[in-house]
Amino acid sequence: MSARERAEALDAADPLGRWRDRFVVADPELVYFDGNSLGRLPIATRDRLSRVIDQEWGADLIRSWEHWIDLPTTVGDRIAASVLGARPGEVLVTDSTTVNFYRLASAALDARPGRPVIVTDVDNFPTDRYVVEGLAASRGLDVRWIRADPVEGPQPEDVAAVLGPDVALVTLSHVAYRSGAIADLAGITALAHDAGALALWDLSHSAGAVPVELEAGGADLAVGCTYKYLNGGPGAPAYLYVRTEHQAGLRPPIWGWWSQREMFEMGERYEPETGIRAFLVGTPGVLALNAVDEGVALVAEAGLDAIRAKSVALTAYAVELHDELLAPPGFSLVTPRDPRRRGSHVAIGHPRAAELCRALVGRGVVPDYRRPNVIRFGLSPLTTSFHDVWRGLTVLAELAGA
C-alpha cells in the first residue's frame, strides 16, 4: 500500500474523521499544521460570539455581568473536568499564560523561603524561562538549568540530578514546545516533593491533545493557554490550576479586586476570597472566555481518549512518512519515536528549515518554523486528517528535491 493509500485507509477508519465539519474551513485545500499555535474557529464559537456580542453586550449591557462574573470559574471547572484531570474549584480562566505563570511561581517561592534555587530546563518555552530569570533576579535566587537531550526532553533522572534541599520550585513544560516530548508529570512532581520543592507545570502544548492528570499526578500548580488545542481563539485568556490543598497557603503577588471577598463592598482593606477565586486579579476578557467555553466543550464532547488515540496515529503516520520520504534527503526527526513520549506535534529538522517553511506556505501547507532549523507540524486531532499529513510531508519532500 502506498503512503497515500495508507492515509486514505486511516482517514476512512478514523472515528473523529467528521469532526472537521464542526469547524470553519474557509479553504478546504489548505493544509493547516498550526492548530498547536492557533486552533481553528469552531462553528459553535462563531455563533456564540455573535450572540454574546449582539445580545449580551449590545442589548443586555451591564446586566450581563450577573452571569459573566462566574465565567472564570465555570469555564475553569469545565477545563478541569474534561481536559486537566482536576477537581472542581481548582482551575480559573483569566489573564495570559505569562501573567499566571508569574503569579503562581511567585506564590510558590514565597511558600518556600530560605530555598535559593529554581529548577527549569534550557529548552523550556521562552516566556517561562524569562519569568523565572526575572523572579530569580529580583529575589537574589539562582536558576539551575537542566540541559537535557533536546529530542527526549528532561527525564526524571535529569531532574533528580539537580534537586536538593536548596530547591524551592521545579518548573517544566508537560509537552515541550519544540520537540513535542512529554515529560513524566507524576514522576517529576514526586521527585520535587521528595526534595521539599513545589512543581509548576506549563500545559500549553498538551492540554486538549494529551491526557493530563493533575490530581492523580500529585501536581501542585499549573498554567496553560487556550488558543492551541482548545481552540479558544487568538490571545484568549489562559488558565491556572492550584491544587485544593495549596489554595489556603499560597498568596499570589497581585492583590486585585477580583480576588477580594465581597468585591462590590469595595472594602477599605484587602481581604482575599477563599478557594480558587483568591487567584483572580482584574476583569477578565468576556468575549474570549465565551470562546474558550465552546472550544473546551468540543474537546469534552469528542473525549480525550479518542483525541489521544487519533493524535498518536497521526504522529505515528508522520514519523513513518518522515522515515520514508524525508530522512533520505537529509531531514532528521526532532521528536521522540516512542508514541508514549510524544505529544501532538512532530518536529523535523533541516539546515534549510526557514526557506523550506516559506516554500511550504507558498504551496498551501502551513507549518511553523522554530529557529534555527526546525519545522513543526502541529497535528490537531479534531481538524487534521491523515491526508493532510500525507500531502504536507510529500510536498516537503518535493521541495527538498527528493
Q: Is 158 a catalytic residue?
A: no
Kindly tell me which of 127 and 332 has the beta carbon lying closer to its own copies: 127
Query: Closest approach of Cβ 167 to its own copies, in Å?
Result: 21
Stretch 83-102 residues interacting with its own copies (CB under 8 A): 95-99, 102
**Going along 174-309, which residue ranges are E strands?**
198-202, 221-224, 239-242
- Sign of the CA dihedral running 29, 176, 314, 15: negative
* Crossing angle for the helix pair 386-399 and 353-362, to the nearest 10 degrees: 120
The residues pairing with 31 across neighbouring beta strands, listed in sequence order, are 365
Selected catalytic residue, list 125, 317, 331, 377:
125
Active site residue 125: yes
Q: Look-up: residue for cell 523572579?
A: 135
Nearer to its own copies, 160 or 287 (CB): 287
Number of residues that bind its own copies (CB under 8 A): 80
- List, in sequence order, every beta strand (DSSP E) within 9-161: 31-32, 91-93, 117-121, 142-146
Restricting to residues 170-209, name those near its own copies by CB under 8 A.
Answer: none
DSSP helix/strand/coil, 392: helix
- Which residue reads 499549573 in cell numbers? 222
Least Cβ distance, residue 196 to its own copies (angstroms):
23
Question: Taking the complex as a whole, how short is the minimal distance between the CB of residue 117 and its own copies, in angstroms?
Answer: 18
Q: Are 336 and 238 in contact (CB under 8 A)?
A: no
Applying CB under 8 A, among 2, 12, 18, 26 the residue interacting with its own copies is: 26
371's CB contacts (< 8 A; 6+ apart) are 354
Asked about 368 being catalytic, the answer comes back as no
Nearer to its own copies, 94 or 189 (CB): 94
Minimum CB–partner distance for residue 177 and its own copies (Å)? 9
Judged by CB under 8 A, does residue 227 bind its own copies?
yes
Given the complex with its own copies, which of 116 and 257 has the nearer CB atom?
257
Q: Which is nearer to its own copies, 348 or 366 (CB)?
A: 366
Task: Say which of 32, 33, 227, 331 is annotated catalytic.
Answer: 227
Instruction: Give the three-state DSSP class for 366.
Output: strand
x/- mask, its own copies, residues 288-307, rule CB under 8 A, reads xx-x----------------
Residue with cell 482551575: 91
CA gap 68, 355 in Å, rounded: 46
Q: Which residue has the cell 493530563?
A: 212
φ, ψ for residue 119, nearest 5 deg: -105, 130
In the complex with its own copies, which residue's Cβ is closer, 100 or 206?
100
Q: Are strands 167-173 and 117-121 parallel, antiparallel or unpaired?
A: parallel
Active site residue 305: no
Catalytic residue among 14, 121, 184, 202: 202
Q: Nearest distance from residue 266's CB to its own copies, in Å? A: 5
**Among residues 260, 311, 335, 394, the one that binds its own copies under rule CB under 8 A:** 260
- Which CB sits closer to its own copies, 15 or 235? 235
Shortest gap between Cβ of 43 and its own copies (angstroms)?
A: 9
Provide, rounded to whole angstroms, the least separation between the CB of residue 309 and its own copies: 25
Q: State the Cα–Cα distance between residues 295 and 308, nearest whole angstrom.
A: 17
Which of 397, 399, 391, 327 lies closest to 11 in space, CA to CA?
391
Q: Does 32 bind its own copies (CB under 8 A)?
A: yes
279: left (phi over 0), alpha (psi -120 to 50) or beta: alpha
Q: Which three cell numbers stand for residue 170?
A: 521545579
Rounded-to-integer distance, Cα 392 and Cα 30, Å: 10
CB of 385 to its own copies, least distance (A): 16
376 included as an active-site residue: yes
Write down the catalytic residue from 228, 342, 370, 391. 228
Q: Which of 184, 376, 386, 388 is catalytic?
A: 376
Q: Let me know the angle formed at the C-alpha of 126 by 120 and 128, rounded to the nearest 5 degrees.
A: 50
Residues in region 327-366 near its own copies by CB under 8 A: 361, 366
> What is the residue whose three cell numbers read 503512503?
3
Query: Would you give the binding string for its own copies spanning residues 50-69, x where CB under 8 A is met?
Result: x--xxxxxxx-xxxxx--x-
Alpha carbon 137 to its chain's center: 27
Residues 361-400 that bind its own copies (CB under 8 A): 361, 366, 368, 370-371
- Binders of its own copies among residues 118 to 157 (CB under 8 A) are 122, 125-127, 129-131, 133-134, 138
Q: Give the residue numbers marked as catalytic.
A: 125, 202, 227-228, 376
